[in-house]
Amino acid sequence: MLLEFFSNGFVWTFVVIIAALYHFLKKDRPIFPIVNNYPGDYFRQKAYSAYDKNAKKLIVEGLVENRGPIAILAPGGMKIVLPSALSDWVKTNRDLDHQELVREQFFAHFPGFEAQYTLHCSDRILINLLRTKLSQNEEIMPIINQHIGPALQYYWSDSKAWHFLDWENDTTGIISRAAASIFVGPEKATDPEWQNIVQSYVREFFAAAGELSGWKVPLRPIVQWVLPHASACRDLRRQACNVMENVVQRRIQEAKAAEAQGAAVPQYNDVVDWTMQISENNHSAGDIQLALAMAALFTTSEIFRQILIDIARHSELLEPLRQEIKKALADHDLGLAALAKMELLDSVMKESQRQIPISG
């Protein structure tokens, strides 16, 4: 009887293992060719290694060979890659949600990563705000300009003597101060503590994303509590929310005091004020600021560095650029009309952006 029990138990265990293995091997199998699928690679170790080392090559060769959509196995899950010929279809397809993809890929549901959720939330508050309040707002340009000079002097000084630069941190710091003048406003734009919080958060966030990507998906919700960069994100996010809550409360009190005295309510032209006026806004001011920092600091600093490098390599551009800028500002002052006249500068910036190396 006992032997029969163990025999039946063994059979059922064997069946369960086979079924689970079959499910594991067959799940999420797409209808498109997998470019890094190898015979006998049951646990996908070879596939993941090929993805880490040669993802760009695999995709380029796969698209050429198959002349259509392909799939690639990645540690975070299988990805489908479409040829550029389908770009218009992708842009007009309402069933595709880029925001949801980014939220998933960058762990927006984890504590400390709320800024990522805010940036790519389905309510599109930040995206719509930047389009309506930032991109065509001529009034913010003098404000940004007032912060650029002091930022350059703070990081690089006016000294003409040879001296060392902290290239990555200095360029990021300059962009951060310029952006903060419109993002966080006059209270904290030049505050060293605030600058340290937002710049540190951006660095820790992308480090944490890479850190978490190295773990299997089921383990990520557990290990994120002890991984150093993810832990740093939680701490920095808490600090940012505390700082911004104080800024918001101070502005509310200022407005109440002005109204009580019959005076004009103080006016601000920054993201803090814009979001305070949106009644349906459910995001904390700290998360909004960190979201903006993630969106602006990394890519803008990278482009800024590339532009400086390209101009240094092509010093013949310096004088034509300088003359174009002087003439545009003399004719139109600092505003959108002046920027529209800086055609050479626009071309240089676009070409520099095109020259940025693509990793992978």
pTM, two decimals, is: 0.77
Average pLDDT for 23-29 = 51
Tens-place pLDDT, residues 154-197: 999 888 888 888 999 999 999 999 999 999 998 898 899 999 99
Placement of tokens 């060392």 in the chain? 164
Q: How far apart are CA 188 and CA 268, in angstroms?
A: 13
User: Where are the chain's structural domains?
Assistant: 32-83, 115-313, 315-360
Read off the pLDDT band of 31 (50, 70, 90).
confident
Give the pLDDT of residue 360. Answer: 44
Q: Note the pLDDT of residue 307.
A: 93
What pLDDT score does 98 carry?
73
Rounded to whole angstroms, what are the CA distances from 141 to 2, 24, 121, 295, 338?
84, 55, 28, 19, 11
The pLDDT confidence band at residue 359, using thresholds 50, 70 and 90, is low
d(CA 353, CA 347): 10
Predicted confidence at residue 112, as pLDDT, reads 95
- Residues 162 and 295: beta-carbon distance below 8 Å: no
CATH of domain 115-313: 1.10.630.10
Over residues 316-344, the pLDDT tens digits come to 999 999 999 999 999 888 888 888 899 99
Q: What is the pLDDT of residue 318?
A: 93
